[in-house]
């Protein structure tokens, strides 16, 4: 009986621990998203909530960016996204190295297209998450 | 900052020798610059077909040589390393003048920056009909606070440069401010103002 219960206990602990890292963490207001490649993307829930406050029926692209260390250098990202008429809102977070892009729901989002926008601006998009509102 | 990190930055500055900050814009972006110091006043417009290079025209009023001319200039990004916390760039640059085929320049410059620290170097060779000379320049900057996107960003900078005409190193502080698409650098040395203004569109 003891030998049967111990593995079950370990399994249960793992499930609880795993779900706590994937779900909203109310202490630091961070949402951790598990990516396909095994890496984690931390989303600041407060900033995300402020971004989506006035939005509805949109798709949000959350992009992790490398090399976005300077405001002056990141201006092109915002300008290039706004050239796309389906983009409703863009938010650049230099501190977190993240860009949030809200597309109208009719937009078929192409992750490679998003990554290319960063490439032509001289930065590197390492991960893109799509969420629907 | 640890002594080890500081020593790495100092070593970097010693090993490498920027003409101007961000010499290439985003793909399809344009930049207008005004620069004035004890040697010259220039107005420079460049266009970046790609984030890899820019090409532009510069009107130059050389106070030292008492001449006015136009340069056709280009800058190419040789290497860029993006990390989560930093960006490093290495550029080559060159230009020719409408004044004479003997009036041209070429050089190399690079920078490394985080949101807190900026370092850069430049080495430019300039050829004119009457005199050939070179310019070396190093910059080190610290951001006293970390601003968010769209905030006013402030950098306290130290520049040291030497040209083979005056043949001595001149070191002076300047301040770099930018907000949105506008950037201005103001410094002073030997009672001369060193001003650099830039707008991107």
Please name which of B120, B53, B112 lies closest in space to residue B83, comparing C-alpha atoms: B112
**Least confidently predicted of A74-78, A91-95, B9-13, B54-58:** B9-13
- List pLDDT tens digits, range B149-173: 999 999 999 999 898 988 889 899 9
Q: B27 to chain A: which residues are within 8 Å by CB?
A: 76, 80, 120-121
Within a domain: B160: no
Alpha carbon A1 to chain centroid, angstroms: 45
Closest chain B residue to the Cα of A90, Cα to Cα? B149
Closest chain B residue to the Cα of A124, Cα to Cα? B82
Task: List the CATH number of the domain containing A104.
Answer: 3.30.70.100
Task: List the CATH number of the domain containing B98.
Answer: 2.40.160
Within a domain: B164: no
Within a domain: B127: yes
B54: pLDDT confidence band, cut at 50, 70 and 90? very high
Handedness of CA A92, A68, A20, A29 (dihedral sign): negative
What domain range includes position B56?
3-134+191-200
- The rounded distance, in Å, linking the Cα atoms of B53 and B46 is 10
Within a domain: B53: yes
A83 contact partners, CB below 8 Å, separation of at least 6: none
- The rounded distance, in Å, linking the Cα atoms of A100 and A60 is 7
Question: What's the domain count of chain A?
Answer: 1
Within a domain: B142: no
Q: How deeply is B41 buried, as exposed, middle or buried, from its count of CB atoms within 10 A (0-12, 13-18, 19+)?
A: middle
What domain range includes position A113?
2-132
Within a domain: B93: yes
Question: What's the domain count of chain B?
Answer: 1
Other beta carbons less than 10 A from residue A97's beta carbon: 21
Number of A to B CB contacts under 8 A, please give it: 78
Within a domain: B158: no
Residue A128, strand partner residues? A63
Interface TM-score (ipTM) > 0.95: no
Contact B85 A94 (CB under 8 A): no
């Amino acid at each position: 009986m003891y030998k049967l219960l111990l593995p079950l206990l370990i399994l249960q602990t793992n499930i609880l621990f795993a779900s706590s890292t994937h779900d909203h963490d109310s202490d630091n207001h961070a949402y951790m998203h598990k990516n396909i490649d095994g890496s984690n993307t931390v989303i600041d829930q407060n900033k995300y909530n402020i971004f989506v406050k006035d939005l509805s029926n949109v798709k949000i692209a959350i992009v992790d960016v490398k090399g976005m260390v300077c405001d002056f250098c990141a201006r092109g990202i915002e300008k290039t996204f706004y050239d796309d008429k389906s983009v409703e809102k863009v938010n650049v977070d230099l501190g977190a190295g993240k860009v949030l892009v809200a597309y109208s729901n009719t937009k078929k989002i192409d992750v490679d297209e998003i990554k290319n926008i960063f490439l032509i601006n001289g930065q590197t998009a390492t991960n893109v998450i799509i969420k629907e509102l | 900052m640890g002594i080890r990190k500081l020593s790495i930055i100092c070593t970097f500055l010693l090993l490498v020798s920027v003409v101007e900050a961000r010499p290439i814009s985003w793909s399809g972006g344009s930049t207008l610059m005004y620069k004035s110091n004890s040697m010259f006043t220039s107005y420079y417009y460049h266009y970046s077909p790609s984030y890899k290079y820019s090409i532009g025209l510069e009107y130059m009023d050389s106070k030292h040589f008492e001449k006015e001319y136009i340069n056709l200039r280009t800058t190419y990004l040789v290497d860029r390393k993006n990390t989560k916390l930093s960006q490093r760039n290495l550029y080559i640059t060159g230009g020719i003048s409408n004044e004479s085929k003997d009036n041209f320049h070429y050089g190399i410059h690079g920078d490394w920056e985080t949101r807190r620290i900026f370092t850069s170097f430049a080495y430019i060779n300039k050829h004119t009909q009457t005199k050939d000379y070179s310019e070396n320049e190093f910059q080190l900057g610290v951001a006293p606070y970390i601003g968010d996107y769209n905030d006013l960003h402030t950098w306290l900078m130290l520049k040291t440069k030497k040209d083979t005409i005056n043949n001595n190193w001149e070191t002076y502080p300047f301040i770099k401010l930018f907000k949105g698409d506008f950037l201005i650098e103001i410094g002073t040395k030997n009672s001369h103002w060193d001003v650099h203004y830039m707008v991107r569109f």
